[in-house]
Each structure stands twice: as C-alpha cells, then as structure tokens.
Amino acid sequence: MIPAIVLAAGKSSRMGRPKALLPIGDSGDTFLTHILKTLRDGGIERLVVVVGGYRDAVRATLADDESLTVVDNPDFEQGQLTSLLVGLAAAEALGDVDAVMMTLVDLPLISPATVKAVLAACRQSPRAPLVRPRRGTHHGHPVIFRRSLFGELRAADPTKGARPVVQAHRAEELSVDVTDEGAFADVDTQEDYERLIRPTLRRVPEGPV
C-alpha cells in the first residue's frame, strides 16, 4: 500500500490566510479538497492530512470518509519535517505500507496524470528509495519515500527538513519526466495566487450586463 500524506499544517504567514482553505476553480473546492480529489483520481486509495495552524477551520471543510485520516501536529511551528513525521506515523498505522507519497498544500495544481506517473514508476522500480517528478533540472511534487528511508527521516534534523535525506539519495532516486507545470507551481504569496489560481475562477460581472 502507498498512502498519500498532504502537509497542510503551516500558518501560511506569507499568504496571510490559510492556503488550505483558498478557493480554486468553479467547483467550490479549496486547495486541500482539490488536492485530495487529484490524489484519488491519480490512483491513491488512502489519504492522510496533517493539520496544525487553523486546524479546526481546515477540519471543518473535510467530509467524513473512511479513506481519509486527519491528524494534528502540535509541533508544526518547529518545521515541515515534524508534519511529515506525524503523517508518516499515521500512514504506517493504516497497515502494511511499502512507501508513502507526500505533497504540500502549497501545490494545488498537480495533475492526476503526474500522480499516476510517479505511482507507476515507484511500483515498477521497487529498489528506488525516492521517486519524484522532474522537468529539466528541477524536481517537484508529489514525492514518494520508500520504507527504507523512514528511519533516516525520523533521525533527520527538524531545522533542515527532509532535504538532507533527499540529497543523500540523489544517485539512487528515480526521476519521472513530466510536462505538468502544476508539479512545480508553489503558491506561497498573494501574488502567486493572483497569477496562478485566480484565472481558474469564474469571473463575476462587475455590473449589469
């Protein structure tokens, strides 16, 4: 089983409001609910969402679903790695987990095709400890961590995050070439939102038509 972990615990200080709750498209979806649909459409059957800042507001947007586990990270202000580890523990509690797929609420435009491609590559290459999408020289999300890296992630320095673990296994990782711009499109600020997300929202007429 390869469950997905969505990190949605941050305070969104650069955005000024919770990114998990921002609207996207015309369906009424938020960043978070849209990402969950994308992961399901990409073939993920079990989902873990890690919340922290705005936890009650974020939880209120999520419907009860047996495939979804929502967990709190009380230490979210100590770094993103703490949220990944909380999510990892919740994912392992689901059963026999060979690997986990991780993505951020900051990247709501990832396509189901990218999720499928990364998932398929992981299953076809069981020895690769790390699988992630690539465009040119840049890597994006979602990222799959094989079980062989779980111990290293738990031993990592929270102030440095998972990056040192990723860097240590660059020679062994499997990169999946994609053309999906959403796999690399971080939405961190209001300017990012206006540029990347606002065009997906139906325009409301400013006056009589």
pLDDT per residue as tens digits for the range 90-114: 999 999 999 999 999 999 999 999 9
Separation CA 2–CA 142 (nearest Å): 12
Give the pLDDT confidence score for residue 10 in this predicted structure: 83
10-residue averages of pLDDT along the chain (209 residues): 94 79 89 96 97 92 93 93 96 95 96 98 94 96 97 94 95 96 93 87 43
Choose among 124, 102, 105: nearest CA to 176: 124
Structure tokens at 45: 């059957």
CA distances from 109 to 74, 99, 125, 138 (A): 28, 23, 26, 17
pLDDT of the residue at 204: 39
- Helices 112-124 and 31-41 pack at an angle, to 10 degrees, of 50
Give the CA angle between residues 149, 153, 154 to the nearest 5°: 120
Amino acid 202: pLDDT = 58
pLDDT of residue 17: 83
Question: What is the DSSP pairing of strand 4-8 with strand 99-104?
Answer: parallel
Q: What is the pLDDT of residue 201?
A: 74
Structural domains in the chain, CATH included, are 4-199 (3.90.550.10)
